[in-house]
Amino acid sequence: MSPSLRQQVLRKIPKVDEILSRPEMADLLKVHPRAVVVEAVRKGLERLRSEILKTEDLSDLDDGIFSFENLYPLFQREVTVQIQPRLCRVINATGVVIHTNLGRSPLAPSALQHMIEIARGYSNLEYDLDRGDRGSRYTHVEGILCRLSGAESAMVVNNNAGAVLLALNTIAEGKEVIVSRGELVEIGGAFRIPDVMKRSGAFLREVGTTNRTYIGDYQRAIGPQTALLLKVHTSNFRVMGFTADTPLQDLVQLGKENHLPVMHDLGSGCFLDLSQYGLEREPTVPEAIQTGVDLVTFSGDKLLGGPQAGIILGKKAILDLVKINPLTRALRIDKLTLAALESTLLLYLDEKMAMEEIPTLRMLKIDRAVLKRRARRLLRSLSERIKQKTTPVLKEDISQVGGGALPLQELPTVVVRLKPVDLSVNGLEEGLRKAEPPIISRISKDGLILDMRTISDEEIPLLAAGIEKALAKTAESKAHRA
């Protein structure tokens, strides 16, 4: 293939100005800002150009691809892409309940309502209505947090990574923090305990081994430089077999004897004993507080089921220092988050209400019969043509909690498995991912899995429509290529 021939073909691509002067473009220019349309045309032509550069045999190309009629839909699509938000809802068909990449916890209706109300107008965010004077944004949730956990004092920041950073910096800047080797974890999104420790200005003092750490290991490491004993929840993994872990109570006792504060990064942080609902037993936040630990930190959007936030609970004397640390201002929680968090916490006053209203908790304890009904509904919503093309079957499978919570917990679930007949599983996965709204599924060794646990009943019609559309589209692009 001579480069000059390719040059000749590329020269056939119309110029941006040429396109813009077409009378048909007037409609687009009437509705959208000129800059948006110009960018769309530029992007559309760029796409055509890269298509030509990718084509091996240029004699395959039909001159029709340069026609305005062929290009116009491309420009329209590019305009739509530009004016639509990039951050959009997706349907989570993965079965991972607390999916960090998909935004972790969906919010309860009352939390959404509260957010809208606070966002729409002014609020008493930092205004004390009793005194008619300046107030603090942190007071709104402190009462309910202390009531639910039994802690003396509470504080909330942007996220749990921020909470850990802030606490370490407040208590141990320039001093040593003793941590078990088995707890130097990395959480998704590059949160590593040793790195956060470094940035906080504290020095890490590792003790014990990967699989076994005893109270004596901590004891021997205590010296004049020690400022804190830290226990970290090994959220997303478990060490199995020959292991020994120092219980929080023992660390608290050791801290007391040596006049050292003890902190527990709980990670997920759950207020309810989920073993009543058939899940693994996890120490709850109130149980951690009961040990007498000085500080506990955890996320707002993991098992708690609220918005992204970092919650710090514990002894008043330490929390008072945390609250006046200048870093607090850099990590401060936003008013919308605060609204959602407060409403989520209020639901916990009634355990039954929390389990029903908080989507994360509801999805974790959902009945298999409900999942089965949902799967059947999806099957009924698919057309005969699509059924032939995807051979859907209802199957039992396992879903995951996610978010680093209960990593070994297997949640028996019901899924719909699709096995496309004239398309690869990867092709179908991509088609669904590009649907509107995008559908995020799971690929297994024998097909594409749609897990009913993380889909709501309202999403079933959208899911069915997405599958129909994905298959129609792939059929179309195949015909186009042929």
Ligand X SMILES: *Cc1c(COP(=O)(O)O)cnc(C)c1O
Which residues lie near ligand X (CB under 6 A)?
159-161, 164, 187, 191, 232-233, 235, 265, 267-268, 299, 310, 404
Distance, in Å, from the CA atom of 449 to the CA atom of 73, rounded to the nearest integer, reads: 33
* 358: CB partners within 8 A, 6+ apart: 105, 108, 305, 306, 344, 347
* 282: CB partners within 8 A, 6+ apart: 268, 270, 274, 275, 303, 405, 406
Q: How far is the CB of 122 from ligand X (least distance, A)?
A: 29
Q: How far is the CB of 127 from ligand X (least distance, A)?
A: 28
Q: How far is the CB of 269 from ligand X (least distance, A)?
A: 9
Q: How far is the CB of 193 from ligand X (least distance, A)?
A: 8
Q: Which amino acid is at 450?
A: L
Burial 29-38 (b: 16+ CB within 10 A, else e): eeebeeebbb
Tokens coding 55: 């084509």
Question: Of the two residues 403 and 431, which places its CB atom closer to ligand X in the complex?
Answer: 403
Question: Of the two residues 404 and 466, which places its CB atom closer to ligand X in the complex?
Answer: 404
Question: Of the two residues 164 and 358, which places its CB atom closer to ligand X in the complex?
Answer: 164
Question: Of the two residues 188 and 278, which places its CB atom closer to ligand X in the complex?
Answer: 188
Nearest of 208, 272, 214, 282 to residue 247 by alpha carbon: 214
Question: Of the two residues 148 and 161, which places its CB atom closer to ligand X in the complex?
Answer: 161
Nearest of 394, 391, 361 to residue 377 by alpha carbon: 394
Q: 239 with 232: CB under 8 angstroms?
A: no
Q: How far is the CB of 13 from ligand X (least distance, A)?
A: 47
Q: How far is the CB of 271 from ligand X (least distance, A)?
A: 16
**End-to-end CA distance of the chain, in Å?**
22
Q: How far is the CB of 191 from ligand X (least distance, A)?
A: 5
Q: How far is the CB of 304 from ligand X (least distance, A)?
A: 10
Distance, in Å, from the CA atom of 114 to the CA atom of 287, rounded to the nearest integer, reads: 29
Distance, in Å, from the CA atom of 95 to the CA atom of 374, rounded to the nearest integer, reads: 13
Question: Of the two residues 306 and 466, which places its CB atom closer to ligand X in the complex?
Answer: 306
Question: Of the two residues 341 and 386, which places its CB atom closer to ligand X in the complex?
Answer: 341
Question: Of the two residues 68 and 237, which places its CB atom closer to ligand X in the complex?
Answer: 237
Burial 49-66 (b: 16+ CB within 10 A, else e): eeebeeeeeeeeeeeeee
Q: How far is the CB of 323 from ligand X (least distance, A)?
A: 19
Residue 68 has a CB neighbour count (10 Å cut-off) of: 13
Which one-letter DSSP state was computed for residue 396?
E
Give rounded-to-5 percent helix, strand, coil for the chain.
50, 15, 35
Question: Of the two residues 149 and 441, which places its CB atom closer to ligand X in the complex?
Answer: 149
Question: Of the two residues 193 and 416, which places its CB atom closer to ligand X in the complex?
Answer: 193
Q: How far is the CB of 188 from ligand X (least distance, A)?
A: 8
Question: Of the two residues 164 and 435, which places its CB atom closer to ligand X in the complex?
Answer: 164
Location of structure tokens 């919308």: 336
Q: How far is the CB of 196 from ligand X (least distance, A)?
A: 8
The helix-helix angle for 34-54 and 3-10 (nearest 10°) equals 150
Mode of pairing for the β-strands spanning 262-267 and 186-187: unpaired
Burial 329-357 (b: 16+ CB within 10 A, else e): eebbbebebbbbbbbbbbbbeeeeebbeb
Nearest of 271, 325, 319 to residue 295 by alpha carbon: 319
Question: Of the two residues 301 and 397, which places its CB atom closer to ligand X in the complex?
Answer: 301
Q: How far is the CB of 270 from ligand X (least distance, A)?
A: 12
